[in-house]
Structure 1
Amino acid sequence: MSADTHLPVRASRPRPPARLRPRWRTRVRSALLRAAPALALYAALRLGGMLSMAIWSWHAGKHPRMLLGHSWDAIWYERLVDHGYGTVVHSDDPTRLYSDLAFFPLYPALVRGVRAVLSLGFVNAGLLVSWAAAGVAAWGIYAVGERLQGRRAATLLVVLWGALPHAIVQSMAYTESLMTAFAAWALYAALTGRWLWAGTCAVLAGLSRPNGIAVAAAVALGAAWQICQLWRNRTPDSLSLRARQDWRLWAGATLAPLGWLGYVVWVGWQKGSPLFGYFRVQRRWGSEFDFGADAWGSVRNMVLGQEHITYPMTVAVVVLAVLLFVLLLLDRPPLALIAYSGVLLFITLGGARYFGSKPRFLLPAFPLLLPLAVGMARARLRTVVVTVGALAGLSWCYGTYLLAIAATAP
């Protein structure tokens, strides 16, 4: 009797054919390699900005790490990480009451997780999350730009985003980089027909910031447009494929607003008004929607010489954003990009108070930079280098001013 007749033998699992094996690792590696030059340039821009700020901070006797990780809103996030929700700060103004319910939960949850795993303090954990999110955001921005306009324009799109006047905020313990990361990948997923991924990223963006609703609007409207196109072009031979695609479209569009709506309703429930409670919290912070009346008053005061030096830069950034949105519309991009940029711009222009922070609120609106990136991609290399150098210098100097010199929050 041979040995193989009485010893148990475990049948090996058949190896799938090479053409059926998952290739997502190869695709991710290839995409990352294509984006590597853009990511390297972005990292150089942000390192230069932080170095400039650090040199001035040390000269002024301030600690740059604390300016980046423990200033203004970052202090509120630290309280959320340490104690959860429930902090209320009273003001001398009886109409103001500052509640931490105004801050969305995803960023402090991620910082708490990183701090627990790596045993870091809040500042280090918060900066680590923000810097990682900024890198993921830059990669997503490149992916969107490459999909629409090619590699050269995509690289310049990332560079322009990293050289914005308020780009120093991308390196702070703030939430703009986190929201931009999810927004960029949600838009890329929508552009490539991955609607479940788009909806999931929209949920996470909606849990990151109040204006994360713009991502949900982009995914929902993009999905609705795609559904209309599928039904308009339907043929008997494409019915089964269309049915499968419709399911993902509907699922992605349904998922998209759940993150933002979930938190807003939860806060409203805590305040006894599920629909309006969150907006009452924001109103007590002085943040509400007045169709730009307060912004116009700030511009008038600036002209009369009664406002902070940051206000001229704010006016310039907002006016440029409006012009770039018009140029974006003229290029007829996909509806998802129009909806995303338009909602962000509408919320920023119409919001009351915090006029000097409006450029920060527009940081996630990277599609507005597409017309500039396309124009620069057609220019000579010398022109591009000079332009990027000038923008980087402005960004570094203004970021240093915001954090190390100005007495106002960015």
Structure 2
Amino acid sequence: MVIVRPEEPTVSGVRGHSGVRALRAAAPALLAYSAIRFLCLAVLFLWSWATGRDATDLLARRWDSLWYVRVVEEGYGFTLQAPDGRVLSDMAFFPLLPWLESLVSAVTSLSPANSGLLISAVASLVAAFGIFTVTEQLYGPRSGLFAVVLWAALPVGIVQSMAYSESLFVALAVWSLRWSVNGDWMRAGVFASLAGLTRPVGLAVTAAVWAAAIVHMRATSGSPAGARPTGRMIAGLLVAPLGAVGYILWVGHRVGSPWGYLDVQAEWGNGFDGGLAFSKFIAGLLFSSAFLAGLALLVGVFAIGWLYRRTITEKQPVALTVYCGVVVVLAVCASGYFGSKPRLLIPAFPLLIPVANMLSRTRGKQAWVIVGTAALAAAVYGAFWLHGSGPP
């Protein structure tokens, strides 16, 4: 029996449901998610047809997806010199997605790029199922449904259908969080480790699992020091960081420096400056002819802060708030390419739960009008975005 503080909601299994019953409960959310993804892809393919482009290439063979395919075909070690002299290395890309692309390609005879599309399609549904399960257990099925459709209707939600690692990462992260909230430490740790092999932000999942374990131990004991950890808890907590830490150490060994991975990321222009570069970017817009764009960005930042505060006031489990906080800080306060920041926020799905709760309390058709408008806007924006010149 798991005992928790009254203010710490918990997900206990799927209310005793079998896997089939859990899927049945999530079916409306998964159908709505699939419909929004179909809408986004339909608009993309129509836009591509009208402009003479190949939509499949846009989804599977551009920007980061090309680096993943090169890892599959040639292994790690490729570098590219940028026009400004920086040396870009493929070791900036974590290995789980290319490993899976290689496996799927070998089993199905699909190309690595198309294997990436298949992986993203399956992973996005697994992620949507996890988002529904967690939200439904905390706030009810209507909130779970809206959390899923909001995640599908993000302005940059088209990335969920690309041969990128976002869908795979969220699928692993959300199920790790679900099991950590439920006290299944071994599965939480294994999925956190796999998330850490997918993207560097996988360490946010590890931090969430550890935080959940600390809260659990203190809640299950009357002593200030908390209860003693079980063997499965210790094993899960030790396994959780192995994916990310193992890969980072391997890169350091290949580069010949303990800080090798940070050096690789620095060449790509990625670092952590506490938001200084982002602040300068917004300030530059505010004091230029692009004032409205700068103002919109500033409002967006405050909205993210407000939503994060709501995750706390609505008493989301500590695993979700810690995970979300780390993801948001790393996305907003990184010094990398500004255009990628919306994509980096895709894993921060707990921010959507307060909005889902508000929509769940809205009666009549108003909530679905809002969701439908957001989905249509996401479809148009996604097609426009992928036909642009810069990487998402």
- Alignment TM-score > 0.5, same fold: yes
Structure 1 residue aligned with 2:187: 197
Q: Which amino acid aligns with 2:261?
A: Y
TM-score (norm: length of structure 2) = 0.91
Structure 1: distance between partners of 2:377 and 2:46: 16
Structure 2: distance between partners of 1:311 and 1:321: 15
Q: Which amino acid aligns with 1:401?
A: F
Matched, 1:267 2:251: yes
Structure 1: distance between partners of 2:362 and 2:282: 35
Offset, 1:271: 1.2
Structure 2 residue aligned with 1:320: 303
TM-score (norm: length of structure 1) = 0.88
Structure 1: distance between partners of 2:344 and 2:69: 21
In structure 1, the gaps of 5 or more residues are 1-24
Offset, 1:327: 1.2
Q: Which amino acid aligns with 2:250?
A: W
Offset, 1:202: 0.1
Q: Which has the larger radius of gyration?
A: 1
Matching of residues 325-340 of structure 1 within 5 Å: 325-340=308-323
Structure 2: distance between partners of 1:264 and 1:68: 28
Offset, 1:330: 1.4
Offset, 1:318: 3.9
Residue range with higher mean Cα deviation, 327-336 or 278-287: 327-336
1:162 pairs, out of 149, 152, 156, with 152
* Partner SS, residue 210 of structure 1: coil
Q: Does the aligned pair in 1 maintain the 2:189–2:236 contact within 8 Å? A: yes
Q: Does the aligned pair in 2 maintain the 1:223–1:250 contact within 8 Å? A: no
Residue range with higher mean Cα deviation, 383-392 or 306-315: 306-315
Offset, 1:312: 7.4
Structure 2: distance between partners of 1:308 and 1:396: 26
Offset, 1:247: 2.2
Q: Does the aligned pair in 1 maintain the 2:269–2:336 contact within 8 Å? A: yes
Q: Does the aligned pair in 2 maintain the 1:165–1:395 contact within 8 Å? A: yes
* Closer, same or farther: CA 75–255 of 1 in aligned 2, 3 Å: same
Structure 2 residue aligned with 1:22: none
Q: Does the aligned pair in 2 maintain the 1:268–1:277 contact within 8 Å? A: yes
2:84 pairs, out of 85, 93, 105, with 93
Q: Which amino acid aligns with 1:33?
A: R
Q: Does the aligned pair in 2 maintain the 1:314–1:359 contact within 8 Å? A: no
Q: How many residues were matched structurally?
A: 378
Structure 2: distance between partners of 1:295 and 1:64: 31
RMSD over aligned Cα atoms: 2.3
* Partner SS, residue 381 of structure 1: coil
Structure 2: distance between partners of 1:303 and 1:333: 35
* Partner SS, residue 20 of structure 2: helix
Q: Does the aligned pair in 1 maintain the 2:286–2:292 contact within 8 Å? A: no
Matched, 1:102 2:96: no
Matching of residues 91-240 of structure 1 within 5 Å: 91-94=82-85, 96-232=86-222
Structure 2: distance between partners of 1:308 and 1:379: 34
Structure 1: distance between partners of 2:162 and 2:223: 47
* Closer, same or farther: CA 284–306 of 1 in aligned 2, 3 Å: farther
* Closer, same or farther: CA 74–297 of 1 in aligned 2, 3 Å: same
Q: Which amino acid aligns with 1:60?
A: T
Offset, 1:303: 3.0
2:340 pairs, out of 357, 363, 385, with 357
User: Percent of aligned pairs with the same residue?
Assistant: 41
Matched, 1:385 2:368: yes
Q: Which amino acid aligns with 1:407?
A: S
Structure 2 residue aligned with 1:3: none
Structure 1: distance between partners of 2:188 and 2:336: 32
Structure 1: distance between partners of 2:55 and 2:303: 30
